[in-house]
Chain A
Amino acid sequence: MLELVTVSLLNGVVYGLLLFMLSSGLTLIFSMMGVLNFAHASVFMIGAYLSFQLGRWVGFWPALVIAPLLCGLAGAAIERYGLSRVHARGHVAEILFTFGLAYLIEELVTMVWGRNAVANAVPAVIDFPLFHVFGSTFPAYKGLMMLISLAMFAFLYLALKKTRIGLVIQAALTHPKMLSALGHDVPGVFVLVFAVGSALAGLAGVIGGFMLLTQPTLAHAIGPIVFVVVVVGGLGSLGGALLASMLIGILQTFAVAVDYSLLDLFRTLGIMISRGSPLYELFAIKLATAAPIVPYLLLVLMLIVRPRGLLGTRDV
C-alpha cells in the first residue's frame, strides 16, 4: 500500500511537472497578450520532433539547446507574419487563427515525419537510475525534467513580476496604444513574448517527447489537458498553473492505479445494485478506466464551484 502511494505520488509529481512545463508558456502568452494559443501544444510537438531529429544528427545536449531556439524562432515568425494581423479583430479571431495553425502543424509534421510514431527513445546519456524506491528505479531524465520544470517556474515568476520588461509587457496587454505613444515597440514586445512562450513549449517538447509517444496526434492528446490546467489554475496565474498541474497530475496518476469502481464502493457499504438497473454500467466503471476524464471532470466542477479558477485574478 505504501509502495503504491509513494510510487504513484512520485509519478504524479513527475507528470504534473510535465504538464506545468507545457502550461507555463501558455500562461505567459495568455497573461501578457491575452491570446489563448491553441497551437501551443503543437509547438511542444515540434520540439519533440526536432529533438528526435537533431538528437540523431548532433546528440542530445545540443538538441536540448537548439530545438527550443528553433521553436522560439518559429513562434516569433508566427506572431510577426500571422497572428499580428489578427489582434485587431479580437480574441475570438486570435483563437481561431491558432486553432487553424494547430491543424496545419499537425499536417506539416505528418508530411515530414509520417503518420506513425517516431522512435524517440530516451537518450542513453540521461537514462540511468537516479535512485531506487521500493524496487522501481527513478531514472535521471525524470529528474532532469523536474529540474527544468522548476527552473521554468522561477524564470517566469521573476520575468513577470520583477523585471521592467515584465511590467512593460503587462501594460502592453491592456494599453497598447498608450505604450506605443510612450515609445515602446508594442508589436516587437508581442513577438518577443510569443517567441519566449514558444521556446518554453519547445523545451518542454524535448523532454516530453520521450516520455510520451512522438507522433502527429501528440498535440491533440495533451493539448486539451493543458487548457484544463490553465482554466482550473486560473487564467493568467502562474502559481495557479503550477498548483493545477500538480493537482491534475497526482489525481490522474492515482486514479489509474485504483482498480475499483463505485460498484465496489457500494458493495463494501452493503448496497447491492442489480445488473438490470439503468445506472449499473456507470457505477461499474473502474476508476482506472475513468482516469482520462479526471481532468475534464475537474474542469466542470471548477466551473460550477469557482469559475475564476484556483488562483485566478482576472476575468477573460
Chain B
Amino acid sequence: MTGAAAAAERVARSAAPGRRRRAWLLIATVALLVALPHVPGLQSDFGRSLLTQMGIAAVFALSFNLLFGQTGLLSFGHAVYFGLGGYAAIGLMRAINHGLPLPMLVVPLAGAAGGLLAGVLFGAVTTKRAGTIFALISLGVGELVYAATFMLPGIFGGEEGITASRTRATIDFGFPLGSQLQVYYAVLLWTVAAALAMYAFTRTPVGRMCNAVRDNPERAEFVGYNTQRVRFIAFAMAGLFAGLAGGLHAINYEIVSADAVSAARSGAVLIMAYIGGAAYFVGPILGAIVITWLQSSLSDYTSAWLLYLGVFFMAMILYAPSGLAGLIMMHRRIAHPRALAGVLAAYAVALVPLALMAAGAVLAIEMAYRMSTQPELGTRMRLLWMSLDAALPWPWIVAAVALGGGLLLFRAAVPLVASAWERAAARG
C-alpha cells in the first residue's frame, strides 16, 4: 500500500470511534425526543404544540443555515421558500381532502417540491451576486412575493389564506394526523429526516465546496469550481428544506396565509440561526428551540418581548458572534473539571449584577410599554409579584438605580470572569 493510502487507512480508523459515539448520541437524542411529549409538563396540547413548533422552526433554521453558515449567503427573504412550500402543501392537503388517495404524511414532500421549484426559479437570478447585493436582492424578492400573495387572492387566499383539513383523508397507512401528539410524531419524523439529509449534504463534495466558497470564493474558482453554480445548488437545497418546513407548518396549523412569506418570518429565522450559532451545524436547532420557547412563553407575559429579543440579538452580535452553540463549545476546551468549576463560579458571581441590571431594565421597559401601548388600562400594573403605579416617580427611580448599580457591579465582575478563564486556559 502506498504511504498516502496507509495514512488514509489510519485516518479512517481513527475516525471510527468518533462516528460510533456520534451515532449513539443521535439514537439517544431521538429516543429522548420520542419520549418528550409524555413528560409531565409537556403532556398538554399546549406543550406538544410547542414541541411541534420547535421541530418546524428547527428545519426552517437549518435550511437557512445551508445558505448562511455553510455558504456565506445572508438572505433576508428566506420565508419565501417556506411560504411557497407551505402553499404547495396546503394545496395537496386540499386535494387529499377531496379524495386524492395519498396519506397526509407525505404532504411535506409537496412543500419540499414547492420550495425547490421556487429556489431554482429565484436562485437562477439571485445567486448571480453574493454578499451585500445578494442580501438586498433577497429582501426585494421577499417583498415582491409578499405583495404578490395579496394581489392573487385566488391562488393565495388573500388575507385569510388557504385552509385545509389534516384529518380528512381516504388513506393513512395507520398514521392519522388527528391529535396534536400524532402531529408531533409526524413532524418529528420529518424533522429528523430533514436534519440528517441536510447534514449529509454538508458532507458531500458540493457541500464541502459550499464551505470553501464561503471561506474564499475567489480561490474556489482557482481550484476549478464555478462559484455561482455552487451557490445556486446551495440555494436550491435551502429552498427545498425551507419548503419542507412550510409543509410541516401547513399540516400543523391547517392554514397557510401571507404571514408565511412575510419579512417578519424571514427575520425570525435569521435571528434563530444566528443566535443558535451559524458556525455549527446544530447551532440553528438550538436557536430554533430557544427562540420558539421565548416567543411562546414571553409573549404571554409581556408586550415588550420583541424588544427583549432585539436586545438579546444585538448582545449576541456584539459579544457572542458564534452564538449559543459557540458559547457552549468554547467550554469544551477546558479539560480540567476544577478549572471548569472556577469558570462557572465566576459566571455565578457575575450573574448577580447582570440580574440586577436586567431587573432594572425590565421594570422600566414594562412600565414604558404599558403607558404607551395600553394607556386605556391605566398606570397601575402588576409585574411578577409586585403591583405598582407607573405614574409615580419611585418605580422609575428604583429601575434607574438597579440598572446603573447593576452595570457598575457587572463591570467590576467582568475581570473576575476573565481571570478565571486565564487560569482555565493555563491549566488546559
Check A-B contact in the complex, CB < 8 A: yes
Which residues of A come within 8 Å of B, CB atoms? 36, 82, 85-86, 89, 91-93, 95-97, 99-101, 103-104, 107-108, 110-115, 220, 224, 227-228, 230-231, 235, 281-282, 285, 289-290, 292-293, 295-297, 299-300, 303-304, 307, 316
Question: Are A297 and B125 in contact (CB-based, < 8 A)?
Answer: no
Taking the closest CB of chain A, its distance from the CB of B126, in whole angstroms, is 7
Report the nearest A residue to B124, measured CB to CB: A304
Contacts of B136 in A (CB 8 A): 36, 227-228, 230-231
Contacts of A316 in B (CB 8 A): 129, 131-133
Tell me the B259-317 residues at the A interface (CB within 8 Å).
263, 267, 270, 274, 304, 306-307, 309-311, 313-314, 317
Tell me the B31-84 residues at the A interface (CB within 8 Å).
72, 74, 76
Contacts of A300 in B (CB 8 A): 125, 137, 140-141, 144
Report the nearest B residue to A224, measured CB to CB: B143
Contacts of B144 in A (CB 8 A): 293, 296-297, 299-300
| With A224-B139, A293-B143 already in contact, 9 other A-B pairs whose C-beta atoms are closer than 8 Å | A36-B132, A36-B136, A86-B317, A97-B314, A104-B310, A115-B372, A300-B137, A303-B128, A307-B133
Question: Are B369 and A296 in contact (CB-based, < 8 A)?
Answer: no
Q: Does B204 interact with chain A (Cβ within 8 Å)?
A: no
Question: Are B274 and A92 in contact (CB-based, < 8 A)?
Answer: no
Question: Are B317 and A93 in contact (CB-based, < 8 A)?
Answer: yes
Question: Are B263 and A307 in contact (CB-based, < 8 A)?
Answer: no
Q: How far is the CA of A296 from the CA of B125 in the complex (A)?
A: 13
Tell me the B126-154 residues at the A interface (CB within 8 Å).
126, 128-129, 131-133, 135-137, 139-141, 143-144, 147-148, 151-154
Contacts of B375 in A (CB 8 A): 114
Q: How far is the CA of A100 from the CA of B306 in the complex (A)?
A: 11
Question: Are A111 and B372 in contact (CB-based, < 8 A)?
Answer: yes
Q: Is the interface of B mostly helix, strand, loop or mixed?
A: helix
Question: Are A107 and B307 in contact (CB-based, < 8 A)?
Answer: yes
Residues A96 and B129 in contact in the complex (CB < 8 Å), given A103-B313, A107-B310, A282-B152: no
Question: CB within 8 A of B135: which of A82, A95, A110, A282?
Answer: A95
8 residue pairs, one from A and one from B, having the closest CB atoms: A107-B307, A296-B144, A104-B310, A114-B372, A299-B140, A316-B132, A281-B154, A103-B310
Contacts of B135 in A (CB 8 A): 36, 92, 95
Q: How large is the interface on B (under 10, 10 to 19, 20 to 34, 35 or more residues)?
A: 35 or more
Contact with A along B238-276 (1 / 0, CB 8 A): 000000000000000000000000010001001000100
Q: Does B407 interact with chain A (Cβ within 8 Å)?
A: no
Q: How far is the CA of A92 from the CA of B143 in the complex (A)?
A: 21
Question: CB within 8 A of B125: which of A82, A114, A295, A303?
Answer: A303
Taking the closest CB of chain B, its distance from the CB of A248, in whole angstroms, is 12
Residues A91 and B321 in contact in the complex (CB < 8 Å), given A103-B313, A107-B304: no
Contacts of B148 in A (CB 8 A): 293
Question: CB within 8 A of B263: which of A91, A93, A220, A285?
Answer: A220
